[in-house]
Structures are given as C-alpha cells and as structure tokens.
Amino acid sequence: MYQQITLVGNLGNDPKMQYAPSGDPVTRFSVATSRSWTGQDGQRQEKTVSLQSRKS
C-alpha cells in the first residue's frame, strides 16, 4: 500500500540519516509550519506546529 503526505513548512533541523538494527537506512527530520488568522477580537493570532518525522 502506498501512502503520501505533503508538508509545506520549514525544516527544523538538518535531516539525519542513521541505520536501524536491521541495517535499513532511516532518515529523521522535523518540519515546522505556521498559520495566522484574525481572532474575534480583531487581533492577529499565529500558531506554529512542529512535526517530527522519519523515513525508513
């Protein structure tokens, strides 16, 4: 089964490649993305979410 996700944001750190005990390569990285909006009080609001990910 093939699954795909598209993330738009900024890398939180440099991707790091390591090897699992099985010998398979694993790449770890984080992506941060922000959204902004105007609240009911008219003030600008912003929220940033950071996602940790790995690709094996």
Q: Which amino acid is at 27?
A: T
Euclidean distance between CA atoms 43 and 39, whole angstroms: 5
- Helices then strands, counting H and E runs in the chain, come out as 0, 4
Share above pLDDT 70 across residues of the chain, in percent, rounded to a whole number: 100
52 belongs to a structural domain: no
User: How many domains does the structure of the chain reveal?
Assistant: 1
Query: Which residues span the domain enclosing 9?
Result: 1-34
Q: How confident is the model at residue 21 (pLDDT cuts 50, 70, 90)?
A: very high
Residue closest to 52 by CA, chosen among 11, 21, 22: 11
40 belongs to a structural domain: no
Residue closest to 30 by CA, chosen among 43, 45, 46, 48: 48
Predicted structure pTM score: 0.64
CB 52 within 8 A of CB 31: no
CB 30 within 8 A of CB 43: no
